Structure 1
Amino acid sequence: MFDPDELERIRDAKAEWEEETLSPTLSRFGEREEEFTTDTRGQSVKRLYTPEDVADHDYLADEGFPGEEPYTRGVYPTMHRGRLWTMRQYAGFGTAEETNERYHYLIDNGQTGLSVAFDLPTQMGYDSDAEMAAGEVGKSGVAIDSLRDMETLFDGIPLDEVSTSMTINAPASVLLAMYVAVGDQQGVPREELRGTVQNDIMKEYIARNLYIYPPEESMRIITDVFEFCAAETPKFNTISISGYHIREAGSTAAQEVAFTLANGIEYVQAALDAGQDVDEFAPQLSFFFNAHNNVFEEVAKFRAARRMWAKIMEDRFGAENPKSKQLKFHTQTGGSTLTAQQVENNVVRVAYQAMAAVLGGTQSLHTNGKDEALSLPTEKSVRTALRTQQILAHESGVADTIDPLAGSYYVESLTDEVEAEAFDIIEEIDDRGGMLEAVKSQWVQRQIQDVAYERQREIEEGERIIVGVNEFRTDEDPDADVQEVDEEDEARQLDRLDEVRAERDDEAVDATLEALRTAANGDDNLVPYIVEAVKAYATVGEISNVLREVFGEYHPSHA
């Protein structure tokens, strides 16, 4: 990128600066740290970056232009100048009625996309009256048992006018089927439904443990969703391959990228093995990343991930459709960075994290409420979180030019370093037989646990400053204005479930469940059978139990 003679002149000038200007200052005052790094086991940060740090760059090959390979600078030609990112606040608690009210509140305050948080029983494929669900109904998200709940959840919200993201994994096919059924009821053509279903079971085995079925059977369901959506709902993203929860579990930024893209490789290969065409399903793949506090590292991470995915899809899988090579992603600010101490500080953390996501070229964004270390966010904190995005969009100027940190010697060098480390990790995963085998052997989980342990040690020993936690502390109590789920919500949900079961046609339900059982024992795509079952008002638990009977449940080894 630079003329060799010019580089030599810069090297000489830097050496002179180090000797005549820097050295006397270091001798007198030193520096704050012996070594600077981006994060636990992160990238080493040099004192100064110059053209020498990107001397081997070929601009067209390494950065290029937005909307063109290698997509380092963005997947669209105009990026946020043409259309702002989707402001998609994650919401769900209690009953479908309560969450519907919150959705209308957010839409009235300028939110541009919906994002559904489901409670733990729903995420695990249990109905609200299951023994395992007791005490958890509506606590960590909204309780959805049947199509009746989904109808209520989107009451007054035309599905052809919104984009909806659903954070659901093991029973993703069931909740997607319910969404499709509501769209059918509203008369919305399936090809007009827009949104994302998370549908990422690999990260459940790695970081969250909200799985039901064994990995191989889970992969079948996921690839069935790929096939169904490619034919029926082409504007719906069939998976949100999630690094977010991997980072929340403790990984470094480079590990987040590596493990996420390695999961993506596993999904693409599974779909190919099922006989699907890469350029038919790959354009509907999407990703979900975390945004933590180190602004430059996060921007570099997003840029590296885009460039890596383009290479992976072309080199490994021979993708030809440009959309198959474009890494499109949603970002959520870092939940694990929020503190119960001095909760107002979290507003600042979230703002910096959101800015990093926007500078890194995100397609949609959720900003956490300041009180999420204590409870579900209140309406006031949700509004502040949404206003954070709106101020970024309309007042800060960060969305007015594309990839504004491109060309920074530091950011470009850091992008290269994150990419190189992530590719090294992927190579080791390949040597271990691929991501599925690396997860089943617990190797991936151990890598993350080691980093999480090291980070906690640094905090406890004061090597890493967390403002308000181990430095700059006060004696004030945490903010007590917290959102609480009414204990009567569980009773109301159980009453609703009883009503659905009393009013539905049991013979129709039994017929659809038996058809699903037959399909699961064979090779048919399962999603059309699940759609018919939910339309008969079969419940999440009943459908999941049929698949449990056929596929079994997963119990990890601890090798």
Structure 2
Amino acid sequence: MFEDEKLEKIRNSKKEWQETTLSKTISRFPERKEKFRTGSGDEVKRLYTPEDVKDFDYNEELGFPGQYPYTRGVQPTMYRGRLWTMRQYAGYATAEESNKRYKYLLEQGQTGLSVAFDLPTQIGYDSNHPLAEGEVGKVGVAIDSLKDMEILFDGIPLDKVSTSMTINAPAAVLLAMYIAVAEKQGVSQDKLRGTIQNDILKEYIARGTYIFPPQPSMRLITDIFEYCSKNVPKWNTISISGYHIREAGSSAVQEVAFTLANGIAYVQAAIDAGLDVDSFAPRLSFFFNAHNDLLEEVAKFRAARRLWAKIMKERFKAKNPKSMRMKFHTQTAGSTLTAQQPDNNIIRVTIQTLAAVLGGTQSLHTNSRDEALALPTEESVRIALRTQQIVAHESGVTETIDPLAGSYYVESLTNKIEEEAAKYIEKIDELGGSPKAIEKGYVQKEIQESAYDYQKEVESGKRIVVGVNKYQIDEEPPKDILKVDPEVERLQREKLENLKEERDNEKVKASLEALRTAAQGSENTMPYILDAVKAYATLGEICGVLREEFGEYQQSIIL
């Protein structure tokens, strides 16, 4: 990037600065600590100069927005053309209650929906299952059947909104319900836009809402890839999620590495199933975390985008430029929210919002100030949404594309994150790929060690968390916390009983047997799941058939 003669001149000037101006200042005013580090613990140098990016090739490593390697963004105009989708994650109690919250958010200027499901739904149980007791509607909305899905989206035209659904093991079932609701609205499948998370590998790593063993789980995922490539072409068929990997305690580098390694596994599984890479890769999407270290997070997003472009082009020989573009959703970091002085979380979320936007996200959810305590109130959700809107319309950071490009520090850090993530991916390849590395406990162990180191630093005071280990105050117990009425569970079970009395149970039985036969063979399961959903078979009944045929995953204990 710079000629040797100019680099030598800069090197000499820096040395002179260190020996004169800097040394005099430090002798009088020592720096604050022995080591300055990124949020992930990597040392940060005092000053970055062209010497730190001396081998930087602009066209190869940076390029232009909307062009390979996409370091500067996936669209040629980025936010000058269209702002990111403001997609607040929401859902609680019943479909009726959640429908009211969605309409409220849309009225407040939200531009996309994001559905949170309760735990029984996430692991494929109906609300009347014994394991669902006490959990119905608590961390998301309870969805037992197409009937609930119809209520959830009542009055919301599905050809006008983009919907993201955070669902993994039963993703095919919830997608089928969404398709069926759209059909009842008169909206054809080819007009639907949205995303299902559908990322089972990170469930084995970090989150735990899995149902089936890896092999049949991967089959269900590739069935969705194939079905949507033919029938729902605008749908993002998977959101490969680093968010939960980071929430479990990984570093920024590990978040990139393990997420992309999972992405490699999904692409390879689809190719092994006979799909052409360019037939499904344009609809892959990613989901990342935004943490407090603003510049490290910006560099992380840029590094991830560039590394994925190289993987798709060089490893998988993708020809379509859209197959190489990493489109991603971002959510601000739940793990950084504190129950102490919860209003401080508004500032944290603002910093994280800036990181996501400066890093080029395609959609964003901002957490609410009270989410360390409970589900967010309407007021808290509105503040979180307003945070995005103020950044979008008042901060000026959307006026130009990739505004931090060219910063010696940001470019150096982008390169470093890419290089270190690539080394992790190489190690995972040596272990036989992401599923094998997970099975051997390698990925989990790396994350556990990172999380342990972070917590030690917080407890020792080496890492400051405002309001937690420094600047504490005496506080009254929190007020106005949103609580889900226990009556929700009884009402949901009552609705389920009524459904089973009203539906055509012979039709349900026939559709479930057809699904069982498909699961035993090699046919695509999606059309059979869709038929069962339309017959008003419940989520638990459909997942029950698949449990019987595929078995249930039992996680190994990693020491």
Report the TM-score, using the length of structure 2 for normalisation. Answer: 0.99
Cα pair 1:43 1:418 within 8 Å, conserved: no
Alignment map for 1:133-532 (pairs within 5 Å): 133-532=132-531
Partners of 1:343 and 1:479 within 8 A in 2: no
**1:116 match:** 115
How far apart are residue 480 of structure 1 and its match?
Answer: 1.6
Q: Shift of the alpha carbon at 1:494?
A: 0.7
Residue 90 of structure 1 pairs with residue 78 of structure 2: no
What amino acid does structure 2 have at the position aligned with 1:31? E
Contact 1:38/1:44 (8 A) holds in 2: yes
After TM superposition, give the deviation of residue 478 of structure 1 in Å: 4.4
Q: Which segment is superposed worse, 20-29 or 264-273? A: 20-29
Q: For the residues of structure 1 that align with 2:283 and 2:477, how far apart are their CA atoms?
A: 43
The CA distance in 2 between the partners of 1:179 and 1:214, in whole Å, is 25
- For residues 344 and 52 of structure 2, what CA distance do their matches in structure 1 show? 35
d(CA) in 2 for partners of 1:508, 1:14:
78
Residues 257 and 425, structure 2, Cα contact 8 Å, conserved in 1: yes
Take 2:434 and 2:189, find their aligned partners in 1: how far apart are those partners?
33
1:26 deviates by: 1.8
How far did residue 558 of structure 1 move? 2.8
Q: Distance in 2 between matches of 1:61 and 1:478?
A: 55
Checking the alignment, whether the CA contact within 8 Å between 1:341 and 1:477 is kept in structure 2 is no
Identity of aligned residues (%): 68
The equivalent of 1:16 in structure 2 is 16
**Are 1:43 and 1:414, in contact at CA under 8 Å, matched by a contact in 2?**
no
Give the Cα–Cα distance (whole angstroms) in 1 for the partners of residues 442 and 352 of structure 2: 29
The equivalent residue for 2:35 is 35
| Partner Cα distance (2:481, 2:77) in 1 | 40
Backbone CA RMSD of aligned residues: 0.7
Letter of the 2:35 partner, please give it. Answer: E
CA deviation vs aligned residue, 1:40-65 (integer Å, no higher than 9, x gap): 4x332100001111110110111000
Q: Which amino acid aligns with 2:426?
A: E
Gaps of 5+ in 2: none
Equivalence map 1:63-74=2 (5 Å): 63-74=62-73
CA distance in 2, matches of 1:7, 1:390: 42
Q: What secondary structure sits across from 1:27 in the alignment?
A: helix
- Equivalent position of 1:107 in the other structure: 106
Tell me, yes or no, if the aligned pair for 1:43 and 1:417 is still in contact at 8 Å: no
How many residue pairs match? The answer is 558
Deviations 1:384-435 (A, max 9, x none): 0000000011101111110000000000000001001100110111111111
Normalising by the residue count of structure 1, what TM-score does the alignment of the two structures yield? 0.99
Structure 1 residue ranges without an equivalent (≥5): none
* Cα offset, 1:29, TM superposition: 2.1
Task: Supply the AA of the counterpart residue of 1:21.
Answer: T
Instruction: Please tell me whether the aligned partners of residues 341 and 478 of structure 1 are also in contact (alpha carbons under 8 angstroms).
Output: no
CA–CA distance in structure 2, aligned partners of residues 431 and 70 of structure 1:
26
Q: Work out the CA distance in 2 between the residues paired with 1:429 and 1:50.
A: 34
